[in-house]
Amino acid sequence: MEKQTQQGSKAVALHLASNIQIPAVRKSIQKQLVFGDRDELFYSEDGCYLYIFKYGIVSFFGYDDATISQILMELKPFCEDWRESDLTEDLYVDLVSDETKTTVTGNKVVLQKSNEEGMRLTLLHLSQSVALDYFAGLSEQIMKETRGHTTYLEENGKLDLGGKALKKHIGRVLNINNQISENLYIFDSHEVAWEDGELDRLDKALKQIFDLKERYRTIKEQGNIIKENLSLFKDIMDHRESSRLEWIIIILILVEVMDLFIMRLIT
């Protein structure tokens, strides 16, 4: 990644892990911390910026490739399920004098050099876009598996999932939905934009160019479809278990009747 181009410097977001231990990273990284809480850390260093999120996304601005590689190696010990992911996204950011207005056009953002909160918003939405790609992949995988079970049900009139397998499948879906709800805040305006009109416009423009809301809705709709299917699967399993219990009771009653009948014949 070139540090400077005619279009500006490139901001890039990478998906590195399923989880990053934010408190441990905060103690380890020796850079100027602009903002930090239990979910994210935003650093500034000589015009370069680093944003780290607990859900495994890290974004950079202004760093060269060698420095990015070095930072990644520093973060690796604090990552769960570290991966060399292909899920990346970039955006050109042009830092200009403070007299210039903030603008968003195509794949480029123009920010004032002193606008750290604008940079934070830009890297946040760039990271959210990569997170959406990750969760969309998980959602599509679950959707494909669920479609396979419904096809089997259509063709054979029964489920190909046993009780434990179905419960594990339901648990997996619930975990993914919980991760999406916890880590993606697409519809809420970020707190830095609440009382600043220019940051609010930037917030809305970035959501639009990354198509965040529509992509989020698609994932949520898939999740709702999957949950409806799983609810049906659970009802079928409950009915099957209930029928099995009824047959066990009937057999026990028959055994008891036969036993009484045999005892009467003997006596």
> Structure pTM?
0.78
Tokens of 19: 């989880």
The whole-number pLDDT of residue 241 equals 61
- Asked if the 9-114 domain carries CATH number 3.40.630, the reply is no
The whole-number pLDDT of residue 256 equals 74
**Helix, coil or strand: residue 72:** helix
Tell me where in the chain the CATH 3.30.310 domain(s) lie. Answer: 9-114
**pLDDT tens-digit profile, the chain (267 residues):** 444 444 458 899 999 998 999 999 999 988 999 999 988 999 998 889 999 999 899 999 999 999 999 999 999 999 998 887 778 999 999 888 877 788 888 788 898 888 899 999 999 999 999 999 998 988 888 888 888 888 888 888 877 776 777 778 788 888 877 877 777 766 566 666 667 778 888 988 999 899 988 998 888 888 888 888 888 877 777 666 666 666 777 777 777 777 777 777 776
| CA distances in angstroms from 133 to 14, 40, 52, listed in the order given | 11, 19, 17
Length of the chain: 267
- Tell me how far apart the alpha carbons of residues 52 and 38 are, in angstroms, rounded to a whole number: 11
Tokens of 117: 């909160």
Tokens of 9: 């410097």
- Written in H, E and C, the secondary structure of 114-137 is CCHHHHHHHHHHHHHHHHHHHHHH
The whole-number pLDDT of residue 15 equals 93
The whole-number pLDDT of residue 46 equals 86
- Measure the CA dihedral 139/145/151/153, to 10°: -110
Nearest to 1 by CA among 60, 73, 72: 60
**Helix, coil or strand: residue 203:** helix
**Helix, coil or strand: residue 178:** helix
Q: Please, what is the end-to-end C-alpha distance for the chain in angstroms? A: 96
- From the CA atom positions of the chain, what is the Rg in Å? 27
Task: Convert 42-72 to b/e letters by CB count within 10 Å (16 or more is b).
Answer: bbbeeebbbbbbbbbbbbbbbbeeebbeebb
The whole-number pLDDT of residue 4 equals 44
**Helix, coil or strand: residue 266:** helix
